[in-house]
Structure 1
Amino acid sequence: MAHPAHQPLLMVALGWYYGNDPGSADGVAWLKDEALAQNPQALQCPDTTPTTTSVTHAKRSGIPTSTQSPSPSSTPTYSTVFSGLKGAIEASDYLTYGLVDTVADCETMCNTVVGCTFVNTYHDVNGKNGSPLLTCSLYSKSHTAAEAINTGGQTQPDGSTDFVTDSAGYTKST
Structure 2
Amino acid sequence: MRFSTLLSAFVVVATGTTGVSAANFSTETIATAAALNPGNFYGAPIRPWNVGHTPGWYYGNGKAPIGIFSILDSVFCGLLDILPFFHCPKAPHNPHPYTRAFSNLNCGCEDASYLTYGLVEVVEDCQAMCESISGCIFYNTYHDVYAKGYPQFTCTLYKKVLTIGSASYCGGQHQPDGSINHIINSEGYYKSSPTA
TM class by smaller structure: 0.7 to 0.9
State the match for 2:166 in structure 1.
147
The amino acid that maps onto 1:21 is G
SS in 1 for 2:140: strand
Aligned residues: 146
Cα shift at 1:26: 2.9
Unaligned runs of 5+ in 1: 43-57
The amino acid that maps onto 2:112 is S
SS in 2 for 1:64: coil
The amino acid that maps onto 2:67 is D
SS in 2 for 1:24: coil
| Alpha-carbon distance change, 34 to 75 in structure 1, aligned in 2, over 3 angstroms | farther
Question: For the residues of structure 2 that align with 1:27 and 1:86, how far apart are their CA atoms?
Answer: 25
TM-score by length of 1: 0.72
- Residues 23-172 of structure 1 correspond to what in structure 2 (within 5 A)? 23-36=64-77, 38=78, 42=80, 63-66=82-85, 73-126=93-146, 131-172=150-191
Residues 28-66 of structure 1, C-alpha deviations (whole Å, 9 max, x = no match): 310133444x48xx5xxxxxxxxxxxxxxx8xxxx3135
Task: State percent identity of aligned pairs.
Answer: 40
| Alpha-carbon distance change, 131 to 6 in structure 1, aligned in 2, over 3 angstroms | closer
Residues 119-163 of structure 1, C-alpha deviations (whole Å, 9 max, x = no match): 000000116x95431000000001111110000101111111001
Structure with greater strand percent: 1
Cα shift at 1:25: 5.0
Question: For the residues of structure 2 that align with 1:137 and 1:148, how far apart are their CA atoms?
Answer: 12
Structure with greater helix percent: 2
- Structure ranking higher on relative contact order (CA contacts 8 Å, 6+ apart): 1
Is the contact made by 1:16 and 1:25 (CA closer than 8 Å) also made in structure 2? no
Provide the alpha-carbon RMSD of the alignment: 2.9
Question: For the residues of structure 1 that align with 2:95 and 2:102, how far apart are their CA atoms?
Answer: 22
Is the contact made by 1:17 and 1:25 (CA closer than 8 Å) also made in structure 2? no
| Alpha-carbon distance change, 25 to 19 in structure 1, aligned in 2, over 3 angstroms | farther
Question: For the residues of structure 2 that align with 1:66 and 1:136, how far apart are their CA atoms?
Answer: 19
- List structure 1 runs of 4+ shifted beyond 4 angstroms: none
Unaligned runs of 5+ in 2: 12-33, 45-55, 87-91
